[in-house]
Amino acid sequence: MNWKDWQIKKLTLGDPGFPRNLTKIKNPPKQIYFRGNFEERVLDKSIAIVGSRQVTAYGREVIDHFVSLFVTDGVTTISGFMYGVDTQVHKKTVEFGGVTIAIFGCGVNICYPVENNNLYTEILEKGGAVISEYPPDSKPQLWKYPQRNRLVAGLASLGVLVIEAGEKSGSLITADFARRQGKKVFAVPGPVTSKVSSGTNTLLKKRRAILVTDPSDILRTKTVRGKSKIPNDLSDIETKIYKALEFEPLSTDEIALAISGSVVEVSKNVSVMALRGYITEALGKFHLVRS
C-alpha cells in the first residue's frame, strides 16, 4: 500500500510533534499513524468520551447536551469510533462544527465499522484526525481494542467522561487506564433500571468517578484544580490521596475506595499528610489545605 496515496503520516516516540500526553503514560506507543489534523494545539483542550455500544435515547440526549457545549467552548472530543456512544460523539461533534479525534484498533486506512465510512470522511473534512498505533492494513482484532483504550485516555487533557456503560463495558477499561495515568474520570448517572448504566452508576457509587450533569462541571473542575499544584515531595500513595481530595472532602474509607487502597494504609498516610500541613480533618472528612 502506498501511504502517500492515503496521506498517512507516521510519528515515532521521541519525534518532534509526538503527542506529549502519550509520552507520559505507561507503555506509550512506539509509533502512531494518522490522517488529518493532529497538531498538539488540538489536544491542549480535549476530553475523551466513551460508553456503551448499545446507546439509548437517554444516552443520545446526554451526548447532544455535552458535545454541543464542549464544541462551543473549543474542546476537542476523543473517542474510539465504534458503535454506540463512540459513533454518536464523533457524529455530533462534526454536526456542531467541532473537532474530533477517532482512535482506531486497526490501520487508519481501514474504516471499521464500515457503516461509519461517511463519518470517517467528515471527521477529516472538519479538521479532525483518525489515529492508530497499528500500521496501515492492520486488521481489526478484539485484543487490540482494550490496548487501544489506553491511548483514548492518554490523549485527553481534561480526562475521560463515561456516558452509559454496562458492568462489563470496555469503557470501564478506559476509565481504569485514566485513573492509572492520573487523569480525571467523570461519569453521568443513569437510570437504576438500565443495564447500560449499571457500570457508570457503579463507578460513582465506588467513588471511582466524579459525578457530572453538565459540561461546566468538568470545565469548572479543571479551572479550580489547576490552581492547586500537587507538591513534589509526596510519595506515590500520598499523591493518589491528594488527587482524590482535589474534588471533594472524603473520609478514610472513601479515600481507600477512590484509590483502590487499604483503609490501614490510607489512615497511616493521611495522618502524616495532616502533620505536614497538606490536609486537615473536619467532621470525619479530610480536606486539602490549598495554598
Task: Tell whether the model's pLDDT for residue 2 goes beyond 60.
Answer: no
**Residue-level pLDDT at 226:** 42
Label residue 224 by pLDDT band (50, 70, 90): very low
**Is there a contact between 156 and 78 (Cβ–Cβ < 8 Å)?**
yes
**Residue-level pLDDT at 228:** 54
Helical H segments across the chain, by residue range: 3-6, 20-23, 40-43, 57-72, 85-95, 117-125, 144-155, 170-180, 198-205, 215-226, 236-244, 252-259, 263-275
Torsion, Cα 28 29 33 34, to 10 degrees, reads -20
Supply the pTM of this predicted model: 0.77
Alpha-carbon gap, residue 20 to 159, rounded angstroms: 15
When pLDDT is averaged across residues 257-283 and rounded to a whole number, the result is 88
Alpha-carbon gap, residue 196 to 173, rounded angstroms: 15
Label residue 4 by pLDDT band (50, 70, 90): low
Q: What is the pLDDT of residues 96-148, one digit of tens each?
A: 999 999 999 999 999 999 999 999 999 999 999 999 999 999 998 988 888 99
We find that the CATH architecture of domain 228-288 is: Orthogonal Bundle (1.10)
Side-chain-side CA neighbours of 97 within 13 Å: the count stands at 4
**Residue-level pLDDT at 276:** 85
Q: Which residue has the higher pLDDT, 91 or 217?
A: 91
Reply yes or no on domain 3-216 having CATH 3.40.50.450.
yes
When pLDDT is averaged across residues 72-83 and rounded to a whole number, the result is 94
Q: What is the pLDDT of residues 157-198, one digit of tens each?
A: 999 999 999 998 889 999 999 988 888 999 999 999 999 999
Average pLDDT over the chain, rounded to whole? 89
Label residue 31 by pLDDT band (50, 70, 90): very high
Looking at residue 250, the DSSP 8-state letter turns out to be B
Q: Structural domain boundaries of the chain?
A: 3-216, 228-288
* Packing angle, helices 198-205 and 170-180, rounded to 10: 30
